[in-house]
Amino acid sequence: MIGKWMGLAAGLVLVGNGAFAADLEERMAPPEATIDLAAQSPWQIRVRGLGVITNDSGAVNGIAGSDLSYSDTVIPELDISYFFTDNIAAELILGTTYAHVDAAGSIAGLGKVGKAWLLPPTVTLQYHFTDFGAFKPYVGAGVNYTFFYNQSGSGDFSKLDIENKVGAALQVGFDYMLDDHWGMNFDVKKIFLEPKWKVDLNGTPLTGKAKLNPWLVGAGVTYRF
């Protein structure tokens, strides 16, 4: 009987030692959540090909039925994002393009008005949805400030001057992450941009409003640091 109890006690000791060793090993291992959190950088960049599709609308003051049209372009674009949380991020969009300005409507016979380059840095505050696995859609809203530079008239037009302008921006898009760092991106923005402009036509000054209001449609590559 004593031997039986001694055997049972020895078994309990062995089981207890094994459980203690396993518990100690688990406690000493670094927590996986902590490792993942430390490795997750708040910084992200994207490189996109961007189509700039303008709204062909505008006017020359004092000329009924006058209108304007603008060329569309495809350009490279870089954006930089910073994630405050998993859901909230700020994005800065950088790129530059140009637009040919043409007379339209009742003044279409005047032909090409000129050309201007524009730099439209845009900052948006975004909400990222995180419940769809690798598919990560987002929406955003923000502000745009467009600088016009290297402006020139064409033909009988000279002294083209389109004013720099602040505009609102709306955004929707998604990233599809291939792994923890690399992904594919598709993004659409609407910029509300209606600057005043002026130009000389054979020495006669003209003024008006250029209702550009472009769509920015982009696709490219995402990298999360």
Tell me the pLDDT of the chain (225 aa) as tens digits.
444 444 544 453 444 445 444 454 554 444 444 334 446 799 999 999 999 999 999 999 999 999 999 999 999 999 999 999 999 999 999 999 999 999 999 999 999 999 999 999 999 999 999 999 999 999 999 999 999 999 999 999 999 999 999 999 999 999 999 999 999 999 999 999 999 999 999 999 999 999 999 999 999 999 999
Q: What is the pLDDT of residue 49?
A: 97
Kind and range of the H or E element at 35? helix 32-39
- Do residues 20 and 14 make contact, with C-beta atoms less than 8 angstroms apart? no
Which run of H or of E encompasses 118? strand 112-119
Q: How far apart are CA 51 and CA 8, in angstroms?
A: 78
Whole-prediction pTM value?
0.80
What pLDDT does residue 25 have?
Answer: 52
Instruction: Give me the numbers of helices (H) and strands (E) for the chain, helices first please.
Output: 2, 15
d(CA 186, CA 93): 14
